[in-house]
Structure 1
Amino acid sequence: MMKNSLFLLVAVALAGCSLFTKREPQNAETSRWFIETMYYDVKHPYLANPLVKDVNLRTGYYRESAQTEFKGCVLYLEGLADSIANQQPLFHHLSESGYRTIFFDYMGQGGSEGSMNNSRVLDPINNSLQISTQAQVVWNKYSEGCKNSKKIVIGWSTGGLVSYKMAYDRWADAVILIAPGIHTKMFIGEAAENPSDLLTFQQVISERTLTRNTFAGGRNPHVEPIKPTSPAKVPLFATNLVAASKVSQTWKISEKVKGLVFLSGVEDTYVDRDATIKTLKRNASHFGIVSYDGALHEIQNEVPEVAHDMYQKTTQFLNHITSAY
C-alpha cells in the first residue's frame, strides 16, 4: 500500500523546462527586459493551508521592438521548473513582431520565492494558489497601456495546461498551447528509460530529453537551472497536476475562444501527442493543430527548422487575432 501511494505521488508527468548548469546571460537585447519583484498575497480561506506564506514573485515583461509597430500584449505561462530567463528566443521573436510579452516565474521557480509545492492548477478551496489566478493578477498589473485589450495567453507544458484552463474559464480570448499537459506521461524525461529515478528523487528533467537542439556554434538560451529538479520533489503540486490533466480532458472549449496548438512528436517523454490530438478534436475542434514529428517537448527551443516554423505560425495567428478585433 505504501509503495503504491509513493508511486502515485511521484509518477507524474509534465515538466516544462530544462536541467542546465548555470550559464552566463545573453547580451542580445537586454534592454528589452523589464523585471521586478511583485509581492503576492496568498489568501487563507476556511480550511486552506495556513502554512503557505505570501511570496515575492519575479514578474515583468519583454518589450516590443521600437522598430516595429506595437500590436498588443500576450501573457506567457512557463512549464514546471522553467524560468522566464530561458525563453528569450521566443520572446525576442514576439518583440520583433510587435508584441510585448508579460510573464512571471511560479513560486519556487526561476527568480520567485516560495515552493512550487504550494502551486496548483486546480484548487476549489484556495483559489489564490492556482497559477491561473496568479496569472490574472500579473496580467492586470502590466497590461495597462496595451494597445490590444484582448487577453491572449501562450503556455508551454504545465503552462499549456493552465492556458487551456483559462480558455475553458472563458478568461482568455485566445490561447496558444505548446506541448500542453492535457495528457501527461507517467515516466517523464530520464525516467522514461530509468523509471526508478522518480522513486529515488534523481534529476529526471534534462536538456537532452527536452530538445534535440545542442546549440552547437550558437548561444544556448537556457541560462538558469531547473528548480525543482524532479516532480518527485514537489509531490503535492505533481499530484495536483496529474489530477488536473485528467479533469481537463472533459473540458469543452467555447468556439468564441480561438486557439492554436503546437505538438511535438511521439518521442516526447513528457506528454502524449496522439492522445492530446484526440481530446482536442473532441473538445476544441475549432483549434488549429500543428505537429512536428521527431520534435521533443521544448518546441520553442527545438532545432531551428522546428522553432522558426513555430515562431512564424505564432505570429500569423496573433496577427489574425489582433486584426480581427
Structure 2
Amino acid sequence: MGKWLTVEEKFELVMKHRRCPSLSQTKLARWAQTAFNLSRAPLTNTVKKILQSASEIEEKQRLGITKRGRDVASPELEVALKSFVDACEADGVRLSRKLLAQKARQILAGLPEDTRPKMALSVGWMTNFMARHGLRRLGPWKLVPLDISEKQSIAVAARALEGVPIDLLINNAGVCENHNLEDTTSENCVRQFEVNALGPLLMTRALLPNLRLAVSARGSAFVAQITSRMGSVADNSSGGAYGYRASKGALNVFTKSLAIDLAPQNIGCLLLHPGNVNTAHGNFTGAVEPEESVAGMARIIACVRVEDPLQMRHFGKGDVIDW
C-alpha cells in the first residue's frame, strides 16, 4: 500500500483524486512525485491500492494516526490547548494556526517525559483539533491594498497596520516574465526585480516595528519569503527566464542578510519553494494545486525555529534545495 508514503500523503493523494477524478493513476503517481518531492513516482499499483483504501486512510487522518499506525491523541494536550483557546478568546487575542502550534509544542514539552506522547502536530492534526472544538476557520482580520513595487503604497500599508503585532509576515507577491536571451530587456528585468526582490525587502523593513511587537508579546516572529528553485544557481539546468531567475536569486541574497541582521531580535527568516503551482502566475500549467502548496509550506512554517539555518526548502517535505 505504498508504506513509504505517510498517512497524510496518502490522504492528500486521495483528496487529489476526488478533486480531479479524470486523472489517470499514472498521472496521479507523477503528481505525488512532484507534490511530495519523491525521488521516484509511486507505482500505479500503489496508487490503486491507496485509492481502494480511501475510507481507511481518511479515518486514520481524522484520528491523527501516524505513519507507524499509532493513535497519537493526547487527552492532556487536548484539554490544555482548549483552555488556552478559551483564555485567548476571553482576552480578545486573535488566534492563528501558528500560535496554536507553538502553544501545543509548549504544552507537550511540559508533560512528564515518561508519559509524553510522540506527536507530529501536523496540519491535519490541527485541522481536526479545530473541528472537534468548533473553532471557526481563520479569516482575514483586515484587508490592506498594496502594490509591493511602489514605496508609497508600502508606506501607506505600514501606517494602516501601525501598532499591530505581526507574528508571521509572508511575502508572496511575485511576477514572472519568461523571457529568453533574445527578448530580455532592462525594463522587464527591473520590473521583476522590483516586485520579486526589492519589494519583499522593503516590505519587511516597513513592518519591522510590527514584528518587534510580536516578539515582545510572544517571544519570536518570522518572515517567510516565497522564492523559487529557479533562483538557484546550482539547480539551473535549462537556462532562460533571465529576469525571473535573477530576481529570485536576489531575493535569496537579501533574505540571507535579513536572517543575519534580524536573528538577534528573535525574528527568523524562511525561504520557501512553493512548487509549480497551477495558477495564473504560471499560465495554469502547474502540477500542484494552490491548496496543496499552501498546506506543505504551512507544515514547514509550523516547525521553524529562529535558530534554524536559512535554507531554501521544498514545500513537499521541507527538503533542502541547493542555492
The TM-score bracket by the shorter chain reads: under 0.3
TM-score (structure 1 length as normaliser): 0.28
Structure with max Cα Rg: 2
Q: Which has the higher helix share?
A: 2
Q: Which has the higher strand share?
A: 1
